[in-house]
Chains A and B, each alone.
Chain A
């Protein structure tokens, strides 16, 4: 396999062909904010937080799904990018119904963390207040679509790690939502193994364990990492 050499924020880095800019940045010790990226599953470029500038390319590229090329010169933290990242997070907040004070994930939420990271003290976009629903038909879990940011981590962990493919994205544009089964109530989907990987993967409080109330959500990310390592690296202990 050939190796590509490139520059990220003035740091030279060499990485195998086919790697993404995000992987190369990790190699170079450069931190790029992410939200929809989850170690162990494929990347989809849904959240736009990892947008970077590449010299001689006239648009911003998502680092998680853009492969490195030879002599590429990447900038990850220009004032322009900082502004776009903050806008991306503000738009996520304005799009759904994110009420931190009453959320299970308050204090343990990757969207909240992203807002702090990009310096968002308020959103400059008018809130949409969409009419969304809560599905608590499953015996152990619930999904509150108000808090969903459509990162599709649940879709990917369920399909790629658990192999059940309970989740998918229904509709388009502003009407998009995460559907269970054939757009049935979650509790009626036979394919669901009740493994809880979607709960662990969800960055916000959208998917939660029943019985958890404000600021009580906990995630076992180690479980996802363990399953992936067991499969890919044949490491069987945690």
Chain B
């Protein structure tokens, strides 16, 4: 049997959704029978996002140039893209900087106004990714196939979303257990 190629990516989020993924505990062993983890900060060591990924869980909003490049790559190489958690679905806490209006006021606030010593703006082109003006939910950048809200979605919700996909079925994203935000 060909295994399903599963990836998970971590954009602008706290990694709590990934922790919740690990919280599926022993079912991860069951999951491993059906999937091959091809890219993931918690499940695999590969640094390049591979071709022909079947399912990808995307945690986090799109906050900087690095996130932006990765999400375009993920979309191009993935069949089913899942917005995984509130940051991916709504941009959530990372987007609270959007209220300051643009990346410049955010950087000035963080690195100059609130700095105690040697205030300076980070500037290492090619190494430190540039902030986007606004943190965006994933679906404002690329097409998303399934939305799994929650901060974080608990292990039961993650399992209920993934399990039908293993059988070639679509999960039912409805009701408090599946789509409550927060």
Q: Which residues of A contact B (CB under 8 A)?
A: 93, 97-103, 106-107, 112, 115-116, 119-123, 126-127, 129-132, 146, 215
B132-151 interface bits toward A, Cβ cutoff 8 Å, 1 = contact, 0 = none: 00100101100010011101
**Nearest chain B residue, comparing its CB with the CB of A215:** B182
Query: 17 new A-B pairs (CB below 8 Å) besides A98-B90, A101-B151, A131-B101?
Result: A97-B96, A99-B92, A103-B182, A107-B180, A112-B181, A115-B181, A116-B179, A116-B180, A121-B89, A122-B149, A126-B140, A127-B137, A129-B99, A130-B99, A131-B99, A146-B99, A215-B182
Q: Is the CB of B149 within 8 A of A99?
A: no
Q: Is B98 in contact with chain A by the CB < 8 A criterion?
A: yes
A-B pairs, 5 with minimum CB distance: A100-B182, A101-B151, A129-B98, A121-B147, A100-B181
Residue A116 contacts which of B137, B139, B148, B176 (CB distance < 8 angstroms)? B176
Q: Is B93 in contact with chain A by the CB < 8 A criterion?
A: yes
Q: Is the CB of A122 within 8 A of B99?
A: no
Chain B residues whose CB sits within 8 angstroms of the CB of A130 once the complex forms = 99
Residue A122 contacts which of B93, B98, B139, B180 (CB distance < 8 angstroms)? B139
- From residue 74 to 97 of chain B, which have CB atoms closer than 8 A to chain A? 83, 86, 89-93, 95-96
Q: Is the CB of B86 within 8 A of A120?
A: no
Q: How many residues of B contact A (CB 8 A)?
A: 30
Q: A100-B181, A112-B182, A115-B181 are in contact. Are A129 and B95 (CB under 8 A)?
A: yes
Q: List 9 A-B contacts (CB under 8 A).
A: A97-B99, A99-B92, A100-B151, A101-B86, A102-B93, A106-B182, A121-B173, A123-B90, A129-B98
**Nearest chain A residue, comparing its CB with the CB of B97:** A129
Nearest CB of chain A from residue B26's CB, rounded to whole Å: 28
Q: Is the CB of A122 within 8 A of B134?
A: no
Nearest CB of chain B from residue A108's CB, rounded to whole Å: 10
Q: Is the CB of B182 within 8 A of A127?
A: no
Chain B residues whose CB sits within 8 angstroms of the CB of A129 once the complex forms = 95, 98-99, 134
- From residue 108 to 165 of chain B, which have CB atoms closer than 8 A to chain A? 134, 137, 139-140, 144, 147-149, 151
**Nearest chain A residue, comparing its CB with the CB of B140:** A126
**Nearest chain A residue, comparing its CB with the CB of B149:** A121
Report how far A126 CA is from B148 CA in the complex, Å. Answer: 18
Report how far A115 CA is from B148 CA in the complex, Å. Answer: 14
Chain A residues whose CB sits within 8 angstroms of the CB of B99 once the complex forms = 97, 129-132, 146
Q: Is B175 in contact with chain A by the CB < 8 A criterion?
A: yes
Chain B residues whose CB sits within 8 angstroms of the CB of A102 once the complex forms = 93
Report how far A99 CA is from B178 CA in the complex, Å. Answer: 18
Chain B residues whose CB sits within 8 angstroms of the CB of A215 once the complex forms = 182
Chain A residues whose CB sits within 8 angstroms of the CB of B92 once the complex forms = 99, 101
Chain B residues whose CB sits within 8 angstroms of the CB of A116 once the complex forms = 175-176, 179-180
